[in-house]
Amino acid sequence: MSMVKNDALFHEYFCEWIELYKVGAVREVTLSKYYMSLDRLKEIVPNLRLKNLDRRQYQKILNTYALTHEKQTTMDFHHHLKAAIVDAVDERLIMLDPTRKVVVKGKFPSKKKIKYISQFDLQKLVEQLNLGEKVNNDWLLLLIAKTGLRFSEALALTPNDFNFAYQTVTINKTWNYKDKLGNFQGTKNQSSNRVVQLDWKTNMQFAQLISNMNEDQPIFVKGRVFNSTINNQLKKHCEKAEIPVISIHGLRHTHASLLLFAGVSIASVARRLGHANMSTTQQIYLHIIQELENQDNDKIMRYLSSI
């Protein structure tokens, strides 16, 4: 690593490693997570030098972090540090890998929010939406529920992305709403570039809604966009409809869950969501897949008994 020696501070090495290997190579949202890990590292061990980093010191770092974070978050922090440390070992700045046989701990998980709702509850939610003649946040909520798009993908949509003749919408960019000015940026991965089919009703609604809009401008972005603002609006709708409160991302989960329960293949759901592979879909919706497998087993047994 260029100017860094083994007597440099650990967080100095990690900072240079991020700038050398991650800046320009990962998306801004991913890069910000690395810098968050850097900030926490500075807080935990501001004076630890790279040459003094051993297994005991590294375990203490993770233990301190774990006091205020759940196990999965601690695991992410560990993966960030470990990637840099492995390079330090390769460069002979550290003789032995201090991450070997590390124990990842964490706070007891807080009560998890409901990730998806039933078809009946989704219908009740849609009835609460204010779907007037002009674009508003409720139209954004409807589109995500009907397509399973990620929040940033939906924000980046322009009229040009819709093909009303074929009832499709093309996903090839996202909107960086975390930036104060906001801007277009690439999708999460190559698989996220996709064409999503629209149902006839949604297709017709949006054909009328955006007919007079600038074809290259984001449909839903009129200024600074905050994820929390949309989530609070969705929460009010859920409470008014007397259904479980979910987040915007919960609408994406709901979309996928309903498709799986309807008998749509995992492969088709994965493509529609823009997952890199089916294993991602299987991992996220394992509980639903297991429930469907139990239903399939019942069908199999009933069929075999009839022979």
User: What CATH number did the domain enclosing 280 receive?
Assistant: 1.10.443.10
pLDDT of residue 155: 97
- Residue 275 to residue 247: CA distance in whole angstroms: 20
Q: Are residues 86 and 134 in the same domain?
A: no
Residue 50 DSSP SS3 = helix
Instruction: Name 64's Cβ contacts closer than 8 Å, sequence gap at least 6.
Output: 44
Neighbours of 13 (CB within 10 A): 24
- Please give the pLDDT value at position 1: 44
Full pLDDT tens readout for the chain, 307 residues: 445 676 899 999 999 999 999 999 988 878 999 999 999 999 999 999 999 999 999 999 999 999 999 998 999 999 999 999 999 999 999 999 999 999 999 988 766 677 889 999 999 999 999 999 999 999 999 999 999 999 999 999 999 999 999 999 999 999 999 888 889 999 988 889 999 999 999 999 999 999 999 999 999 999 899 999 999 999 999 999 999 999 999 999 999 999 998 889 899 999 999 998 888 888 788 878 777 777 777 778 887 888 8
Neighbouring CB atoms inside 10 A of 290's CB total 10
Query: Is 106 a member of any domain?
Result: no
Within-domain flag for 97? no
112 vs 157: CA distance, rounded Å: 31
Residue 186 sits in the same domain as residue 44: no
Please state the domain count of the chain: 2
Cβ atoms within 10 A of the Cβ of 82, count?
Answer: 16
Are residues 171 and 214 in contact, defined by beta-carbon separation less than 8 angstroms? Answer: no
Q: Do 129 and 240 belong to one domain? A: yes
Indicate whether 49 and 138 sit together in one domain.
no
Whether residue 125 sits in one domain with residue 84 = no
CB atoms within 10 A of CB 299: 9
CATH value at residue 17: 1.10.150.130
**Which pLDDT score is estimated for 274?**
93
Residues spanned by the domain of 258: 119-294
Query: Do 84 and 127 fall within a single domain?
Result: no
Separation CA 175–CA 224 (nearest Å): 11
Q: Flag whether 103 is in a domain.
A: no
Task: From 34, 101, 13, 106, select the one nearest 65 (Cα to Cα).
Answer: 106
Residue 151, domain member (yes or no)? yes
User: CA 74 to CA 68: how far, in whole Å?
Assistant: 9
Asked if the structure places residue 34 within a domain, the reply is yes
On whether both 146 and 253 belong to a single domain, the answer is yes
In order of 30, 67, 241, 269, 275, the CA distances from 193 in angstroms are: 18, 39, 34, 14, 10
Mark whether 281 and 155 lie in a shared domain.
yes
Establish if 107 belongs to a structural domain.
no
pTM metric for this prediction: 0.68
C-alpha distance from residue 86 to each of 11, 58, 91, 96 (Å): 15, 13, 9, 9
Distance of CA 163 to the CA centre of its chain: 26
Rounded to an integer, what distance in angstroms lies between the CA atom of residue 189 and that of residue 303? 42
Looking at the structure, tell me whether residues 49 and 150 fall in a common domain.
no
Q: Is residue 133 in a domain?
A: yes
Residues in the chain: 307
Considering 90, 106, 127, which residue would you say is the last residue of a domain? 90
Distance of CA 136 to CAs 40, 103, 149, 233, Å?
A: 38, 48, 17, 11
Let me know whether 58 and 148 are in one domain. Answer: no
Which residue from 48, 52, 58, 103 is spatially nearest to 81, judged by alpha carbons? 58
Whether 257 is covered by a domain: the verdict is yes
